[in-house]
């Protein structure tokens, strides 16, 4: 249940640091600035005290705060194990590790996989160690469903492995992702309302993807739901057993379509057509009288992603609709002014720029609503570090009034303000993963009394909204007997007594209620159970409240009595709902998050053609001719659902976690050539613990191509590094031995093209402290004893002679890294990334070298359009002192038109600018070639080395006229290039251009061409 | 050519396998030998003959093992996978091997000299074959029942499927002249082996993936959805049905019937024994792991193989566990026994032989 395509580079960066320690500390010591990279930070904000609970089939990892949800999860896992044991006809012969987090924000810190986990990831199964990792995040029903989903993955993976081993097939063969996710969805429960939403939309908007083209939607939400629909189709048409047959017959062919043909006994295209027909037969009748939102409602936004609207009425009566906005870039909160006819009256303005700074690190786009008080204060939530915060923003003054965070609460959702701005209600998720309603008094200062917990139970209470009089909250919750099946109803919470009462009742999903300005109606979104058990489209509804209801008129601030924190258990049973429900819309797909725009109009998020847009409808007229009017329903006779918890026997409670290393990767290789009598081989082994917090890397490499009677030991390179990632401050250490022939282009004393023999033994220490998601400090220190033998120049710049240079090099580097760049398929597309490093390297033994290093690498990406951007790169490097190492440029990666790493200097600056644009989005051979892009560029650099410039005479490079690499001159190139991507993974680039030197004096008439693979800078 | 020869193997016993044997070893059991068959096993049981144990593997081989000492006497290659039951000629000279790959079929093979007698390439045959008189009967994955001339391999008759029904359950001989088929649409049909004519057909409406069992009066069909059905052997009328009590209906193992009792295991780990005539439940017991392999009656014991790698003997009268042995891996294949031998096929690819303790001690 995870799309990890968003994995960012930070972890890779850290591993890269470790790898530098392992593979090339000699280089790192010489040019420490180059050892630093970019990337954002996965931060361990919380030092979890891990425990392990052993159940019959699982090892459940949890921390004390999450014990409650871990017991719920453990019981669900054991229950579902029995079900899957039958469905897969398989008993697992090993224990499965389940790692539970209480909240999504804790889950984001997991080290079990590299990369970052976006909000939409509900859990994942990692097959290297067979780990299942899942957060609860307040919704127990969803938590349990994700457990079931991931356990289907566990069984599928193990069943497939068994089948392939039985038939002596390579076990690296996988089933298609759409099938594994589809069967996981299908065998984890009935289709939910989101499944129906996606499939209805796929049919209505005609983006349904046939079977043979499923790779086109790989990793998308549509893929999950289409895969689920296919499995349901197979089960209903061919028989449930055929699903397992598809797994059991996977050995027959690596092409899964052929497996489908064999198992279902029909041609693959026939199966696909039959599936599509089966779907259309189900959904087409539902669409006959349905309305297409884009045809029947007015857009306030039409392109990009826009959601969760809220309305601000300015003091002068003009209005703006605020919403989350993303047009393929950073997510922001935008405001769209509307005129009296509620049509857009001007361009959108950005109110809050998100995802670029600590305070606005990320929004919860699908979980948290916006709200604007009558006084013009915007309330919204962002992730800030390890927890969420609520921002209160004065829209009139365009300034932040407050930023509220609460120690006891990890995640916050959907804040709502009373009209006078004093009271703030919201959903909070505590350290234990329970979602409840909270009330905050902005006038109470920072004392404990300022925050009060309104509900205190395991139910998922969301999207509160203040009544206009401030006395009552309405919210959506699963606190009924139907809640176990995912149903949600609307409830009111009387702030005076704490009593909770139904507004709606039934097995439907009622979401996102909003009071009308006069307090007589509630607008909300609802997906209703139909007679066949499926959900209807998620439509807009209005609850017309009982006019007989006693509605206090006094303002909240004056009438608020002392509040009782939890509902009175002796209070009378809630009254039955007193409302009539009018269905305003009958959409083809779905509507979300209605907000009143005046007394009679609504703005809402429409989902159509797999896009989210904000639109407007006239609620009043629709209510008058409602699609459907029903009573609010009767409260369930049975008690709210309860979740079963795993009851560990006495003495078998969770035990403290003890770290044990397990093998992650073991790879080796060996190469030999008889003609040159050369042999080389190496191996890499990596270990980590089950939580991924501790890692050990061991690398060995050797070559016998040394000559001179040297032994195998003389060519042996060995490195061992341990990295600890379990705390906010990461650290690592290791030892290394580097040995072999070496042509060191960074050594000013080493003549060109004549290798020397070098060996170095030392230790390295690494530390990294993240300041925020975007910024960190990296520290590296190392000391190595080195010995280099060969033709060396004297340090005074004199003659070259055969000599041995012994050093004891101590190198220290500190680097400040900043990265908020957005990445696309081809590389960064927007934002800034930069690093500034300083270092000092000295020979503590004979002072053969002693120099300072300074480096600044800054890259800026300006987005001109959805696929067009300008990338600018500036680089300054200087190594100053005795035997200061040289910095290197050249090649397609940096200074194009100049040979790879041939442009050298102890000091240099470099700049590159590139305009990047699409050429073909679907070129021939798509998706093998996943697009074709173009670029025009200009590169320039200047390099110099005090006293050593004569070193750079290079007979291999006469193209620039005098056989020198133009040290002391400004050089560069201009040109254009094409880029394509193989399978969306490997970027290939080819550039053509002309070189120039100082003052754009062209040195040659022929253009150069240069091929390279790798992402854009 | 040398490579090709090196890559091939054959069964050249020089002697017949001998007639098939079935029986009941008595007394306590001891492990006699264990052999790595170099390939995993399908759901079918091994064959025990007078002198050998014959087993097909998912590696596409048939392995012949000397039943006395467990030595491999011959290995023949027959394609990509041998999933179903191998049939033998009455004299044990020819084996009929079902081939499960996409363009599979049946191969007749003389084990004395390693020569292929004939080969029928009619389609993937996962379920297995059975020989009745001069006819070899096969059921293909794409839902066809076929009668082949045992001497030539010529198709004597063939039925065409009228739906996407498939055969996963091996055909079963019912007397000397009839053969029973059950498909994954729940259709059970008794046919004349010589002509393919239908004697009776019955629908039990739930998929059958496991080989039915037969006694003098009834046939017993277990389904993938927890249903065990007894049909009249002569008419096909449903005599009784028993449904698993579980909410998640288990896939049932192939049933085993003897002395008026029918036993069946399930993926829920439950083994139940019913009275074959009255359908009254005599006892049930539950294991920690799946019981997908067909159990086996051995006198006063019911032998059960489990997915947690155990072979267990249960008291036939009470279901009490009276003996067990731990194996290398799951038991997914049916058990089979002769007078002095019990053969268990376990994961990953091992054939384990048990003998009565007194014999093993000799």
The ipTM assigned to this model is 0.92
Cross-chain CB nearest to A85 (options B40, B143, B267):
B267
Using pLDDT thresholds of 50, 70 and 90, give the confidence band for residue A33. Answer: very low
According to the model, what pLDDT value does residue B48 have?
95
Whether residue A762 is preceded by a cis peptide bond, meaning omega within 30 degrees of 0, is no
- B61, closest residue in chain A (CA to CA): A167
Tell me what the mean pLDDT of segment A874-900 comes to. 88
Helix axes A177-186, A221-237, angle to 10 degrees: 70
- Name the strands in the sheet holding B47-48, side by side, starting at the edge strand that comes first in the sequence: B47-48, B52-56, B61-66, B72-77
Cross-chain CB nearest to A86 (options B40, B102, B267):
B267
According to the model, what pLDDT value does residue A951 have?
47
Using pLDDT thresholds of 50, 70 and 90, give the confidence band for residue A557. Answer: very low
Tokens describing residue A29: 């010591």
A167/B81 CB distance under 8 A: yes
According to the model, what pLDDT value does residue A36 have?
44
Choice between A890 and A650, residue whose per-residue pLDDT is larger? A890
Chain A residues in contact with chain B using a Cβ-Cβ cutoff of 8 Å: 56, 82-83, 85-87, 89-91, 93, 162, 165-168, 238-241, 251-253, 258, 262, 264-266
CB proximity under 8 Å: B 122-181 to A: 124, 141-143, 161, 164, 166
Using pLDDT thresholds of 50, 70 and 90, give the confidence band for residue A154. Answer: very high
A90/B307 CB distance under 8 A: yes
According to the model, what pLDDT value does residue A229 have?
97
CB proximity under 8 Å: B 192-221 to A: 207, 209
According to the model, what pLDDT value does residue B228 have?
97
Cross-chain CB nearest to B184 (options A165, A168, A239):
A239
Q: What does chain A come to in residues?
A: 1017
According to the model, what pLDDT value does residue A35 have?
38
Tell me what the mean pLDDT of segment A380-393 comes to. 97
According to the model, what pLDDT value does residue A120 have?
86
Task: Quote the percentage of chain A above a pLDDT of 90.
Answer: 63
Tokens describing residue A587: 């959409």
Element (H, E) at A84: helix A67-87
Q: What does pLDDT average to over chain A?
A: 86
A287 to each of A206, A291, A525, how far by Cα in Å? Answer: 12, 8, 19
Whether residue A29 is preceded by a cis peptide bond, meaning omega within 30 degrees of 0, is no
pLDDT digits 0-9 by tens, A269-283: 999 999 999 999 999
Q: Which candidate, A695, A638, A629, A628, places its Cα nearest to that of A661? A: A695
pTM of this prediction?
A: 0.90
- A245, closest residue in chain B (CA to CA): B168
Q: How many CA atoms lie within 13 A of A270 on its CB side?
A: 9
According to the model, what pLDDT value does residue A26 have?
31
**Cα separation, B314 vs B305, whole angstroms:** 11
Q: Does residue A459 carry a pLDDT above 80?
A: yes
According to the model, what pLDDT value does residue A1016 have?
87
Strands B341-346 and A1008-1013: unpaired
Q: Which candidate, B231, B230, B265, places its Cα nearest to that of B250? A: B265
B292/A83 CB distance under 8 A: no
Query: Is B307 in CB contact (< 8 Å) with chain A?
Result: yes
Query: Is B233 in CB contact (< 8 Å) with chain A?
Result: no
Helix axes A221-237, A193-204, angle to 10 degrees: 90
CB proximity under 8 Å: B 29-58 to A: 39-41, 58
Q: What is the pLDDT along chain B (362 residues), one digit of tens a residue?
A: 333 333 457 899 999 999 888 888 887 899 999 999 999 999 999 999 999 999 999 999 999 999 999 999 999 999 889 999 899 999 999 999 999 988 899 999 999 999 999 999 999 999 999 999 999 999 999 999 999 999 999 999 999 887 889 999 999 999 999 999 999 999 999 999 999 999 999 999 999 999 999 999 999 999 999 999 999 999 999 999 999 888 889 999 999 999 999 999 999 999 999 999 999 999 999 999 999 999 999 999 999 999 999 999 999 999 999 999 999 999 999 999 998 899 999 999 999 999 988 654 44
Q: How many CA atoms lie within 13 A of A685 on its CB side?
A: 8
B124/A262 CB distance under 8 A: yes
Residue B80 with chain A: CB contacts under 8 Å: 167, 252
A239/B267 CB distance under 8 A: no
Cross-chain CB nearest to B267 (options A89, A258, A264):
A89
**Cα separation, B289 vs B205, whole angstroms:** 27
DSSP reduced 3-state for A280: helix
Among A78, A83, A85, which would you mutate to test the B interface (most chain B Cβ atoms within 10 Å of its Cβ)?
Answer: A85
According to the model, what pLDDT value does residue A452 have?
93
Cross-chain CB nearest to B58 (options A85, A167, A258):
A167
A251/B289 CB distance under 8 A: no
Residue A90 with chain B: CB contacts under 8 Å: 290, 307
According to the model, what pLDDT value does residue A707 have?
59
Query: Is B102 in CB contact (< 8 Å) with chain A?
Result: yes
Measure in Å the smallest separation between the Cα of B140 and chain A Cα atoms: 11
Q: Does residue A955 carry a pLDDT above 60?
A: no
Measure in Å the smallest separation between the Cα of B187 and chain A Cα atoms: 14
pLDDT digits 0-9 by tens, A88-133: 999 998 999 999 999 999 999 999 998 899 888 999 999 889 999 9
According to the model, what pLDDT value does residue A1001 have?
67
Measure in Å the smallest separation between the Cα of B43 and chain A Cα atoms: 12
Among B83, B162, B251, which would you mutate to test the A interface (most chain A Cβ atoms within 10 Å of its Cβ)?
Answer: B251
Among B7, B36, B37, B307, which would you mutate to test the A interface (most chain A Cβ atoms within 10 Å of its Cβ)?
Answer: B307
A177 to each of A96, A181, A228, A255, A405, how far by Cα in Å? Answer: 21, 6, 11, 13, 40
pLDDT digits 0-9 by tens, A479-506: 998 998 899 999 999 998 889 999 999 9
Tell me what the mean pLDDT of segment A891-910 comes to. 85
Residue A91 with chain B: CB contacts under 8 Å: 289-290, 306-308, 330
The answer to whether A321 touches A336, Cβ cutoff 8 Å, is yes
Among A94, A163, A239, A274, which would you mutate to test the B interface (most chain B Cβ atoms within 10 Å of its Cβ)?
Answer: A239
- B164, closest residue in chain A (CA to CA): A265
Torsion (CA) B192, B196, B199, B200 in degrees, nearest 10: 130
Task: Quote the percentage of chain A above a pLDDT of 70.
Answer: 88
According to the model, what pLDDT value does residue A676 have?
55
pLDDT digits 0-9 by tens, A675-719: 556 677 889 999 999 999 999 999 998 876 655 566 777 889 999
Residue B329 with chain A: CB contacts under 8 Å: 93
According to the model, what pLDDT value does residue A619 have?
86
Measure in Å the smallest separation between the Cα of B332 and chain A Cα atoms: 9
Choice between B245 and A320, residue whose per-residue pLDDT is larger? A320
């Amino acid at each position: 249940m995870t799309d990890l395509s968003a994995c960012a580079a930070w972890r890779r960066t850290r591993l890269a640091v470790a790898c530098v320690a392992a593979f090339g500390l000699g280089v790192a010591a010489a040019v420490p600035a180059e050892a630093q990279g970019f990337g954002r930070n996965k931060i361990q904000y919380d030092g979890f005290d891990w425990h392990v609970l052993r159940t019959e089939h699982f090892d459940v990892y949890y921390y004390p705060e999450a014990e409650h949800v871990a017991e719920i999860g453990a019981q669900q896992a054991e229950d579902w194990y029995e079900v899957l044991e039958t469905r897969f006809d398989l008993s697992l012969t090993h224990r499965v590790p389940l790692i539970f987090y209480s909240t999504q924000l804790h889950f984001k810190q997991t080290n079990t996989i590299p990369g970052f986990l976006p909000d939409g990831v509900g859990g994942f199964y990692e097959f290297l160690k067979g780990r299942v990792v899942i957060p609860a995040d307040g919704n127990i029903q969803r938590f349990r469903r994700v457990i079931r989903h991931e356990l289907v993955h566990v069984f599928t993976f193990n069943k497939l492995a068994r089948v392939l081993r039985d038939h002596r097939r390579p076990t690296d063969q996988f089933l298609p992702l759409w099938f594994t996710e589809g069967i996981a969805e299908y065998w984890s429960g009935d289709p939910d309302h989101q499944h129906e939403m996606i499939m209805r939309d796929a049919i209505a908007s005609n983006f349904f993807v046939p079977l043979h083209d499923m790779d086109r939607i790989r990793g998308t939400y549509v893929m999950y739901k289409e895969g689920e629909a296919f499995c349901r189709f197979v089960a209903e048409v061919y028989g449930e057993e055929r699903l397992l047959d598809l797994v059991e017959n996977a050995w027959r062919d690596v092409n899964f379509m052929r497996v489908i043909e064999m198992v279902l006994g029909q041609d693959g295209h026939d199966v696909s057509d039959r599936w599509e027909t089966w779907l259309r037969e189900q959904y087409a009748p539902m669409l006959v009288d349905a309305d297409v939102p884009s045809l029947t409602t007015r857009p306030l936004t039409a392109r990009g992603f826009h959601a969760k609207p809220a309305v601000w009425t300015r003091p002068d009566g003009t209005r703006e609709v605020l919403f989350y906005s993303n047009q393929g870039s950073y997510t922001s909160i935008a405001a769209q002014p509307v005129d009296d006819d509620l049509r857009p009256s001007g361009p959108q303005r950005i109110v809050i720029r998100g995802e670029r700074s600590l305070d606005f690190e990320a929004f919860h786009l699908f979980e948290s609503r916006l709200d604007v008080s009558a006084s013009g204060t915007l309330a919204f939530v962002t992730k800030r570090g390890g927890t969420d915060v609520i921002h209160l923003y004065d829209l009139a003054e365009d300034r932040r009034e407050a930023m509220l965070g609460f120690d006891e609460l990890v995640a916050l959702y959907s804040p709502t303000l009373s009209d006078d701005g004093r009271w703030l209600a919201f959903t909070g998720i505590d350290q234990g993963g329970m979602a409840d309603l909270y009330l905050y008094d902005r006038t109470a200062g920072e004392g404990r009394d300022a925050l009060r917990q309104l509900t205190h139970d395991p139910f998922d209470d969301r999207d509160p909204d203040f009544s206009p009089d401030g006395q009552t909250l309405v919210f959506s919750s699963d606190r009924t007997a139907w809640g176990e099946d995912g149903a949600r109803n609307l409830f009111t919470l009387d702030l005076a007594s704490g009593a909770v009462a139904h507004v709606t009742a039934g097995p439907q999903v009622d979401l996102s209620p909003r009071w009308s300005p006069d307090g007589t109606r509630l607008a909300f979104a609802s997906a209703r159970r139909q007679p066949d058990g499926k959900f209807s489209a998620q439509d807009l509804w209005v609850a017309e409240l009982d006019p007989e209801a006693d509605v206090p008129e006094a303002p909240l601030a004056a009438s608020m009595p002392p509040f009782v924190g939890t509902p009175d258990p002796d209070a009378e049973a809630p009254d039955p709902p007193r409302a009539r429900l009018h269905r305003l819309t009958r959409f083809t797909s779905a509507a979300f998050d209605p907000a009143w725009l005046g007394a009679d109009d609504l703005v809402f998020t429409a989902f159509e053609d797999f896009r989210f847009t904000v639109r407007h409808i006239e609620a009043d007229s629709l209510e008058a001719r409602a699609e459907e009017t029903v009573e609010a329903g009767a409260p369930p006779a049975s008690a709210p659902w309860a979740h079963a918890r795993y009851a560990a026997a006495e003495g078998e409670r969770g035990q403290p976690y003890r770290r044990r290393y397990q093998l992650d990767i073991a790879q080796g290789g060996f190469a030999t050539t008889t003609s040159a009598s050369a042999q080389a081989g190496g191996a890499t082994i990596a270990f980590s613990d089950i939580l991924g917090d501790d890692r050990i890397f061991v690398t060995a490499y050797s070559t016998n191509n040394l000559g001179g009677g040297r032994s195998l030991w003389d060519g042996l390179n060995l490195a061992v590094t341990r990295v600890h990632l379990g705390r906010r401050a990461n650290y690592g250490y290791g030892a290394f031995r580097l040995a072999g022939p070496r042509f060191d282009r960074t050594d000013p004393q080493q003549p060109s093209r004549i290798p020397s023999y070098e060996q170095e033994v030392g230790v390295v220490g690494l530390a990294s402290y993240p300041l925020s998601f975007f910024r960190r400090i990296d520290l590296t220190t190392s000391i190595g004893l080195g010995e280099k033998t060969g033709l060396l120049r004297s340090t005074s710049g004199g003659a070259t002679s055969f000599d041995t240079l012994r050093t004891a090099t101590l190198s220290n580097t500190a680097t400040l890294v900043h990265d908020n760049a957005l990445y696309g398929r081809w590389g960064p597309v927007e934002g800034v990334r930069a690093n500034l490093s300083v270092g000092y390297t000295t020979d503590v033994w004979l002072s053969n070298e002693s120099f300072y290093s300074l480096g600044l690498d800054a890259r800026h990406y300006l987005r001109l359009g959805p696929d067009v951007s300008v990338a600018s790169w500036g680089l300054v490097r200087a190594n100053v002192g005795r035997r200061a190492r040289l910095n290197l440029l050249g090649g397609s990666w940096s200074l194009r038109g100049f040979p790879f790493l041939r442009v050298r200097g102890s000091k240099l600056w470099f700049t590159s600018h590139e305009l990047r644009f699409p050429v073909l989005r679907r070129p021939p051979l798509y998706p093998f070639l996943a697009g074709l892009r173009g670029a025009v560029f200009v590169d320039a650099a200047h390099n110099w080395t005090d006293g050593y410039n004569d070193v750079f005479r290079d007979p291999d490079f006469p193209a620039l006229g005098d056989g020198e690499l133009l040290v002391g001159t400004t050089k560069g190139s201009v040109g254009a290039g094409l880029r394509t991507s193989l399978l969306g993974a490997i970027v290939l680039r080819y550039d053509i251009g002309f070189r120039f030197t100082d003052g754009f004096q062209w040195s040659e008439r022929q253009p150069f061409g240069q091929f390279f693979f790798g992402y854009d800078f | 050519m040398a490579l090709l020869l090196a890559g091939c193997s054959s069964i050249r016993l020089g002697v017949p396998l001998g007639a098939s044997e079935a029986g009941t070893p008595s007394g306590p059991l001891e492990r006699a030998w264990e052999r790595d068959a170099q390939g995993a096993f399908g759901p079918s049981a091994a064959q025990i003959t007078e002198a050998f144990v014959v087993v097909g593997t998912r590696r596409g081989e048939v392995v012949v093992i000397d039943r006395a000492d467990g030595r491999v006497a011959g290995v023949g290659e027959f394609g990509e996978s041998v999933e179903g039951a191998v049939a033998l000629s009455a004299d044990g000279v020819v084996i009929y091997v079902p081939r499960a790959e996409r363009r599979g079929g049946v191969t007749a093979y003389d084990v004395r000299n390693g020569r292929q007698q004939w080969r029928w390439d009619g389609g993937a045959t996962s379920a297995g074959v059975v020989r009745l008189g001069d006819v070899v009967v096969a059921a293909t994955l794409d839902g066809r029942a076929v009668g082949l001339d045992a001497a030539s391999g010529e198709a004597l008759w063939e039925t065409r499927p009228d739906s996407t029904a498939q055969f996963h359950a091996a055909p079963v001989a019912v007397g000397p002249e009839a053969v029973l088929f059950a498909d994954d649409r729940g259709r059970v049909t008794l046919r004349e082996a010589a002509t393919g004519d239908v004697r009776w057909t019955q629908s039990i409406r739930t998929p059958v993936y496991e080989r039915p069992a037969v006694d003098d009066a009834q046939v017993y069909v277990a389904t993938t959805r927890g249903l065990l059905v007894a049909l009249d052997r002569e008419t096909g009328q449903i005599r009784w049905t028993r449904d698993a009590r579980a909410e998640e209906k288990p896939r049932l193992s192939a049933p085993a019937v003897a002395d008026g009792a029918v036993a069946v295991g399930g993926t829920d780990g439950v083994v139940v024994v019913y009275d074959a005539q009255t359908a009254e439940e005599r006892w049930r017991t539950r294991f920690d792991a799946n019981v997908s392999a067909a159990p086996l009656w051995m006198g006063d014991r019911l032998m059960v193989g489990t997915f947690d790698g155990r072979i267990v003997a249960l008291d036939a009268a009470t279901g009490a566990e009276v003996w067990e042995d731990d194996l290398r891996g799951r038991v997914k294949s049916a058990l089979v026994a002769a007078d002095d031998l019990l053969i268990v096929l376990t994961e990953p690819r091992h054939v384990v032989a048990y003998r009565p303790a007194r014999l093993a001690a000799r």
